[in-house]
Chains A and B, each alone.
Chain A
Amino acid sequence: MGDVYRIIAKRLGLGLVTLFVISIIIFGAVELLPGDIAQAVLGQGATEENVKAMREQLGLDRPAPVRYLEWLKGAVVFDFGSSLVSQTPVAETIGPRLYNTLFLALYAAVIAVPVAIILGVLVALFRNSVFDRVANVVALTSISSPEFFLGYILILYLAVITGYFPAIAKLQPDMSLADKLHRTFLPALTMVLVVVAHMMRMTRAAIINLLASPYIEMARLKGVPPWKVIVKHALPNSWAPIINVVALNLAYLITGVVLVEVVFVYPGIGQMLVDSVTKRDFPVVQACCLIFAATFILLNLAADVGAILTNPRLRHPK
């Protein structure tokens, strides 16, 4: 077992280093601005005094590394400074929105993961049949469509024409859970469509890869019934690839969520990011980017660690 822990520790360390480098990139990118933040925000027409006052307020007179360390220290405890536009602390606005985004992503994941894995295994079992080919074409189409295309199709058919679901996913604080699930169903479904297609294809590839191994052929040749081949021989070894597939696609959800939130006017962190990019509200952009990047890295890390933990060869070393 010692070996496994060492590998995991090494992987976690690598993840931390990546996160650190990314925080430098996110902070450093703003330093690349022609002039500085004060100049960029106030524009060409600002007087010298105004720019100077803003510089002092933001503490821009100190060297960049000092400011970076302060920013990082704040970011660790979820304090990202205050917004340039509204002057309120960034964390205050981000908090509830982050919760909304996580809610939406979780909602989509709960539907997508079981559906995708079951479909993926079925398609792998019936590979090269008509169903496999139809599923492949449908999945490719769904992957290739931009999220806003799927989103607007769903709005058109399920909201405007039939009226089953609301087209705009506005949330009120006092909504019941059932209400909330009903209201956010369309954005969740849009993400489910994209993610299921990805996951199904990846699960199919993983399972087919596995079914080609010699020990599966051995089991078949000695006369093990097909379902037993899958349950006893294939499944224990396929956990690692399946966990990998799930985590990678959850990470994919994180990016997809930005476009979906804009389509459905959902009050999440993705929409906030897009808004602040247009307003050039740098502290908010930095905070959102850091949260997205951190989640992305964490999920990738989880995928790797999960793959290591479920690998029978590593769990029972010779």
Chain B
Amino acid sequence: MNYFVIGYYAMLIGASCLAAHFQKREVFLLLFSLTLASFVMGIVGGEPALWTVTVAAGLIALAAGTAFAFREFLAIVLPREAGKAIRTAPLTAGFGLFVIGTYAIAGIFAPIIAPYGEAEVISDSFAAADENMLLGADQLGRDMFSRLVYGARNTVGLALTATLLAFFLGAAGGLIAATKGGWFDQFMGRFADVIMSIPSLIFALLMLSIFGTNLVTLVLVVAVIYSPRVFRLTRAVAGNIVVMDYIEAARLRGEGTWYLIRKEILPNSMAPLIAEFGLEFCFVFLLVAGLSFLGLGIQPPTADWGSMVRENATLISFGEITPLIPAAAIALLTVAVNFVVDWMLWRSTGLKE
């Protein structure tokens, strides 16, 4: 028992009592269950476990604070309607938007932000962090931080390109299938079924073993693998719209397929499609990162998060967290996008229960 442990429990129990006194039932439940969990963790893991909890709680509080401030900022800066929507968003969505914004800036301005080039060797391999290198050096002596920043451009850029292509293919197929119907619809549906019945990573590995690993093939393969998901959703959403009276009216007016898609169906199916875009991006991003991790994605010396994890993996056995940083960068972006998508789905479908 030392001052830290005593202070730790005193804080938690005091805060629980305050929450109970002010009738904040939810907060009280959360704090008190944390206290109970801490007893168990303290007995099993000792003081370090309690430190971990403290650090984690601090990080979560910091993230929540950032999210809150960023949400308020957006609510003031954005025009009235959008601002109103943002103000009612949950904190998780605010956090997601903040992370996405940060990554976008890092990716776009990578050469300005990064102190060194992505392939520039500046010190010994696995050198520790010093005043020149924020996060130390990688296995060839390149600056980890610079590579991380460039990775935002390369990895995210690649995933975004593949997602856009998949989306374009899938949405175009779905819209045409819904408006045309008939054998085209049937054929595309069966085709999508077959592609979706092969696990995506396995399919990607098969294709990459045949066509080799270059960027164009990678984007094409990933786009083809993930377009059936978009196709199905677009087909379902557009299928509900096609039977509406206003479509019938437009058809009777003698409008063509292209007009129907562009002016009648697309504007009315935007909300679920945008949410699907976010989800799709997560899948594609994880697949691309996984392939890079396996050494089959973006090839060196281009900086890329998946391969950075693989290249520095040996450091793990010395208790260093360096290889975890690019992996965490991947996880953070996916989590952020998921948070935003969750919020958008909740808004558009009224999943309010």
Give chain A's interface residues, CB within 8 Å of chain B.
18, 21-22, 25-26, 29-30, 32-33, 127-131, 134, 137, 140-141, 143-149, 152-153, 155-156, 160-161, 167, 208, 212, 251, 254-255, 258-259, 262-263, 273-274, 276-278, 280, 282, 285-286, 288-289, 292-293, 296-297, 300
Contact = CB atoms under 8 A, between A and B. Distances in A.
Interface residues of B, number: 50
Interface of B (DSSP majority class)? helix
A258 B295 CA distance: 13
Contact of A18 (B197, B202, B296, B309): B197
Contacts of B200: 255
B30 A152 contact: no
A22 B293 contact: no
Contacts of B309: 148-149, 152
Given A156-B321, A259-B290, 14 more contacts: A25-B198, A140-B342, A146-B289, A146-B290, A148-B309, A152-B327, A156-B324, A251-B199, A274-B205, A276-B209, A278-B296, A280-B209, A288-B202, A296-B199
B293 A130 contact: no
B194 A285 contact: no
A293 B331 contact: no
Contacts of A156: 316, 319, 321, 324
Which 10 pairs between the two chains have the least Cβ-Cβ distance?
A144-B334, A149-B327, A145-B331, A277-B209, A255-B199, A144-B335, A130-B26, A292-B202, A289-B206, A255-B201
Contact of A21 (B29, B194, B202, B313): B194
Interface of A (DSSP majority class)? helix
Nearest to A168: B317
Given A144-B282, A148-B327, A160 B197 contact: no
Contacts of A258: 201-202, 205, 290, 294
23 contacts: A22-B194, A29-B210, A129-B26, A137-B92, A144-B335, A145-B330, A146-B286, A148-B290, A153-B324, A161-B319, A167-B316, A251-B199, A258-B201, A258-B290, A259-B201, A259-B293, A277-B205, A277-B209, A285-B206, A289-B198, A292-B199, A293-B198, A300-B197
Contacts of B319: 156, 160-161
B210 A289 contact: no
A25 B210 CA distance: 12
Contact of B202 (A129, A134, A255): A255
Contact of A146 (B197, B331, B342): B331
A50 to B, nearest CB: 21
Contacts of B193: 18
Interface in B108-142: none
A259 B353 contact: no
A137 to B, nearest CB: 6
Given A146-B330, A153-B324, A296 B197 contact: yes
Nearest to B341: A140
B353 A127 contact: yes
A149 B197 contact: no
A286 B202 CA distance: 10
Contact of B335 (A140, A208, A280): A140
